[in-house]
Amino acid sequence: MMTPRELEAWSGKPDGEGRYESLAEQRPGERVRAVGILGGQCLARRLTNMGLFRGVTLEILSGGRRGPVIIRLGASRLALGRGMAAKILVEKAA
């Protein structure tokens, strides 16, 4: 469980100069790293409980313009609503 301070650090724009995009903008097959969320502690806690937190690498399984964004997170698959996915900031994974 994350402390309130860790949740606060996870929510909000990430530090740094990188080019960040929302998870909802990614195409199937891409690998990205979560860097922050544009939401409050409630969203941060929900995502953390699913195993999604800053620094984790994910693979986009399906996306597109409509419907949920389906990601692979470790051995699990998660379906995120497009609104929630739009609030998750990511960068391309190396």
pLDDT in tens, 34-51: 999 998 889 999 999 999
- The structure's pTM equals 0.83
Identify the pLDDT of residue 63. Answer: 78
Residue 18's domain spans which residues? 4-92
Identify the pLDDT of residue 19. Answer: 80
What are the C-alpha distances in Å from 15 to residues 18, 20, 41, 85, 92? Answer: 8, 11, 17, 20, 16
Q: Domain of 68: which CATH number?
A: 2.30.30.90
Identify the pLDDT of residue 89. Answer: 95
Q: What does the alpha-carbon distance between residue 17 and residue 24 come to, in Å, rounded to a whole number?
A: 21
Q: Would you state the structure tokens that stand for residue 33, as one six-digit string?
A: 């790293």
**Overall domain count for the chain:** 1
